[in-house]
Amino acid sequence: MNPDAPPSPRTVEEVPGHEALIGGLEVWPQLDPFAATVRWQLLQLGQLVQRSIDRVAAANGLSHAEVAVLAALKRFGPPFEASPSQLQGAHWVTLPGLAKPIARLEALGYVARRPNPGDRRAVIVQLTAEGHRKMTDIIENQAPPEYWAIARLDPQRRAALEAVLPDLLELLLASVPADPPDGQAGLETT
């Protein structure tokens, strides 16, 4: 078996944990089996990606949030800078949730803060040369397994994912409520 060959397609029945999903569908027969299966697989994928990113971050002495900030700044492109609000929008985190990672990255010399010329009360966070080197190393030399798994998909499966994932993401963004501004996600007040 060629380790570089893309994996052969599997049916959902072959995925570990499928029996538990089917048991749940028997208890709740009103659920759409396709929607439940896709949601379950997305949950598994999200958990795998989260653990993978956490491993890469820890190997570099960073947290998941710190790597996310560095990656966002890199993705913004030259001059590799953004306001905390722009970073928040790129990562679904609250502004208070960004303060600690940004402060630590600044202490490590990976980012620098400067006043925002458009609003002197706000700041701009910029990737430093050292931060740029760190993120480049992480991207080019430490790509996690999910990156390689996706990269190895055959052209037809890549095209299928490319066609459906943006639509699914758009539907979810439109239907999942935003977290309250105070960071109390999931807590309803009446």
CA angle 178, 62, 98 (to 5 degrees): 30
Q: How far is it, in rounded angstroms, from Cα 107 to Cα 169?
A: 35
pTM recorded for the entire structure: 0.69
Ordered alpha helix ranges (H), 33-185: 33-59, 64-76, 84-91, 95-108, 129-141, 145-151, 155-175
| Rg (the chain; Cα; Å) | 20
Residue at 129: amino acid letter = A
Tokens 């798994």 found at: 149
pLDDT per residue as tens, the chain (190 positions): 455 555 555 555 565 665 656 665 666 667 777 777 788 888 888 898 889 989 999 999 999 889 989 999 999 999 999 998 888 877 656 677 788 999 999 999 999 999 988 888 889 999 999 999 999 999 888 888 888 888 999 999 999 999 999 999 888 888 877 655 444 443 333 2
Q: State how far the Cα of 64 lies from the Cα of 83, in Å rounded to an integer.
A: 19
Name the pairing type of β-strands 81-82 and 111-116.
unpaired
